Amino acid sequence: MCGIVGVVNHEDAARCILEGLQRLEYRGYDSAGIAIVGAQGKVSIARAEGKLSNLTGKLADAPLAGSTGVGHTRWATHGAPTEGNAHPHRAGRVSLVHNGIIENYKALRAELSAAGRSFASETDTEVVAQLLDRYLETGLDPRSAWLETLGRLEGAFALAAIIEGEDGLLLGARRGAPLVAATSETSGFLASDIMAITGEARTVIYLEDGDTVFVRPEGIEICAPSGEPVARPVNPAPASMAMAEKGNHRHFMQKEIYEQPEVVGRTLSAYVDAEAGRIRPVEGIDFAGMSRLLVVGCGTASYAGLIAEYWFEAMAGLPVDNDIASEFRYRDPAFLPGDAALFISQSGETADTLEALRLCKAAGLKTIALVNTPHSSMAREADVVVPTLAGPEVGVASTKAFTCQLAALASLAVLAASQRGKLSPEAVEAEVASLMAIPAQMNAALAIEQEIDQLATELAHASIVLYLGRNVFFPLALEGALKLKEISYIHAEGYAAGELKHGPIALIEDDVAVVAIAPHDALFAKTRSSIQEVRARGARVIAITDKAGADELDSEASAILKLPDVKGLAAPIVAATAVQLLAYYVAVHKGTDVDQPRNLAKSVTVE
């Protein structure tokens, strides 16, 4: 994840910001920068490609002195990883840093360009800086200009900004990406992660989604998007790095669920050229020349591969064979001319998957590794590496790694469809727009957390839970059942809804819990029939659906979890958030060890 650090009224703002960014280095980045309000209120900026050491070297030659500033480590999204695209971005009096995606930046950029403003970068971030400066030019005070600016933005993001001539003011906002505000005896802070200011801050406010914040030496003001003040709990700042890593979350798993809008957006941006409305080609992969794609993984990774099988075949017309890695090499697989093999692993060290890769490589197949760890064994040995950018995942039960795998696979499916002539450029552009909207949609899906928490109190007493789905929601049902059994120890099974009559329906009796993933899509009527079948036999049905589905299932489901209206590739990625939260809260109410469930390891490196 990109890193944000801001400070106001500090004896050495540059040092404080650099030390904070260093604590976030492990998350990955490709450029860094810092802006400081110096003497006479003037802002100076230093930026550099590559590691923080490059920025530190620049500052050693030309120090930036001042008490207020912002800093950033960037992973390139819109625009290449160049110094010109690095944050902070300046427009007039404004210097600004940003995590996330501004979905409507093209329209805003066109509007601002028509008004005579010129742009120095390729980023969506600069649009925000230009917009804020424009409102300031109209005579609005900083508070009003900031609120007006935020009201124009669409997407999932966190922002921090300083204004020339305003030495005692730091502006911030959180919309779907993490941001905290904090204080010491004399200073105020903003950061994307409390780890960045551990040791400096004495109290911390974990901002809630939608919060706008103004940090001044005399205190912190938080308001809603309307500008109405809101109160948030003030907590003691964590005293150690270990405590800081979880922030205000009870478990790492919960934190990682909530990081998904940001890290999925970051992963998508590695594949999507939003400006051009296309998927960037991946060097070494030619989907047009493939006769078949073998997809191999274990556990959650294998379910990501199953969802991708539906996408590649339906969208790109590319035949896919999906295998569990632990069985693949022992069944003596037969290979065909033109075969390529894709291996999915969070760690890149999964023993069975690594051995399957070696088998395919020895057979002469093109091998592709989809991994979250760029220097892993699989990454080193595969012909092509396609990364997921989830960042470190501590919880044993995979959450953000899974949705980042799906984000990468969805992007590759669109690329395959384009290369194989199955999608026109206009259709590709529409798919790209849909993909880039996913972070904001995931953020909206997380808003039903309280409903899930309440529902989980009852589900925690179940002895068996069945998950049902059709099409891409069948693998998601398998993943939902896996999550529940992993961390709550409740026996759970996932089934294709159409297979009920072929055996599983015998398990249905009074009060058996059934979770039906049933968005109002082309197969909704068939899924609804399955819901009616189990309901007639006494099952307690929990439906995960959208508004249209909720309306039709109102009298048929015992409980309904209503998600945003999402179609196409985005749908299973957004629905995964509800599936994960349901498992998480059931485990919390059962009192199990959520982050380190019994008998399981994060990375399985032995057979």
Catalogue the E-assigned strands of 415-477.
464-469
Tokens 């274990």 appear where? 298
Contact of 135 with 148, CB cutoff 8 Å: yes
**495-533: b (≥16 Cβ within 10 Å) or e:** bbbeebeeebbebbeeebbbbbbbbbbebbeebbebbeb
Q: What is the DSSP letter of 229?
A: B
* Tokens coding 545: 């659906």
Tokens 């990468």 appear where? 408
Residue (of 374, 398, 392) closest to 480 by Cα position: 398
Number of Cβ within a 10 Å radius of residue 191: 31
Strands 155-163 and 94-102: antiparallel
Report the side by side order of strands in the sheet with 219-223.
89-91, 94-102, 155-163, 170-175, 212-216, 219-223
On the 0-12 / 13-18 / 19+ scale of CB atoms within 10 A, 240 is exposed
Give the amino acid at 113: S
Give the amino acid at 295: V
Give the amino acid at 183: T
Q: What is the DSSP letter of 238?
A: P
> Rounded to an integer, what distance in angstroms lies between the CA atom of residue 179 and that of residue 465?
36
* Tokens coding 458: 């009852």
204: Cβ contacts below 8 Å, ≥ 6 apart: 180, 181, 182, 194, 234, 235, 236, 237, 238
Residue (of 568, 560, 489) closest to 518 by Cα position: 560
Residue (of 559, 534, 556) closest to 464 by Cα position: 534
Q: List, in sequence order, the alpha helices (H) in 349-399.
A: 351-362, 377-381
On the 0-12 / 13-18 / 19+ scale of CB atoms within 10 A, 227 is middle
> Rounded to an integer, what distance in angstroms lies between the CA atom of residue 542 and that of residue 561?
7
> Rounded to an integer, what distance in angstroms lies between the CA atom of residue 513 and that of residue 507?
10
Q: Which residues are part of the catalytic machinery?
A: 2, 602
First to last CA, the chain: 32
Q: Distances in Å between the alpha carbon of 149 and those of 133, 139, 161, 169?
A: 9, 14, 12, 17
In this structure, the dihedral spanned by the alpha carbons of residues 302, 277, 173 and 138, taken in order and rounded to 10 degrees, is: 180
Q: Per DSSP, what are the bridge partners of residue 560?
A: 543
